[in-house]
Structure 1
Amino acid sequence: MTDRLSKSEIAKDALQEGVETVASTVGEVATIITTAVKDVANAIGGLATDAFAIRDAARQAAERAELDEQPDA
C-alpha cells in the first residue's frame, strides 16, 4: 500500500515552502539594509570626529600665529 499525498496537502506544502522562502529573503534584505545604515552612520560619525579635530587644530594654529605676531613687551 502506497501513501499518496492529496492535492490539498501538496498545495499546502508548496504554499508553506513559498512563504518560508519569502520570509528568508525578506530577512536577508533587512539584514543588508540594517548593516548599510549602521555603516553609513559610522562613516558620518567618523567624518564629524575628523571635522572637530580639524577645527580644533585650526583654532590652535590661529592662536599660536596671533601670539607670534604680538610684539614683546
Structure 2
Amino acid sequence: MSDPEEHLTKAEIGKDAIQSTAEAAAVAVGEVATIITGAVRDVATAIGGFATEVFEIRESARKAQAEHTDDD
C-alpha cells in the first residue's frame, strides 16, 4: 500500500492545474504573437512594394509626358 504522505493534496492538485493552465496560455499567447508579428511584417512588405510601384509608375508617366511635350 502507498504511503499517505506521497498522495497529493487537493491544494497541490489545484496548484498544478492552475500552473499547467497558465503555461498553456503563455504558449498560446506566444504563438498568436508570432503569427501577428509575421502578418504585420508581410502587410508592411506588401504596402512598401506597392508604394515603390506607384512611385515608378508616376516617374514613368512624368517622363512620357515630358517626351510628349518635347515632340509637340
Q: TM-score, normalised by structure 1?
A: 0.86
Identity value in percent: 54
State how many pairs are aligned.
69
Q: Helix, strand or coil for the counterpart of 1:40?
A: helix
| Equivalent-residue separation in structure 1 for 2:34 and 2:26 (angstroms) | 12
Match of 1:45 in 2: 48
Q: CA deviation at 1:39?
A: 0.9
Task: Name stretches of at least 5 consecutive residues in structure 2 with no aligned partner.
Answer: none
Q: CA deviation at 1:15?
A: 0.5
Match of 2:30 in 1: 27
Task: Name stretches of at least 5 consecutive residues in structure 1 with no aligned partner.
Answer: none
| Equivalent-residue separation in structure 2 for 1:6 and 1:62 (angstroms) | 83
Q: 1:59 aligns with which of 39, 58, 62?
A: 62
The runs of at least 4 consecutive aligned structure 1 residues that moved more than 4 Å come to none
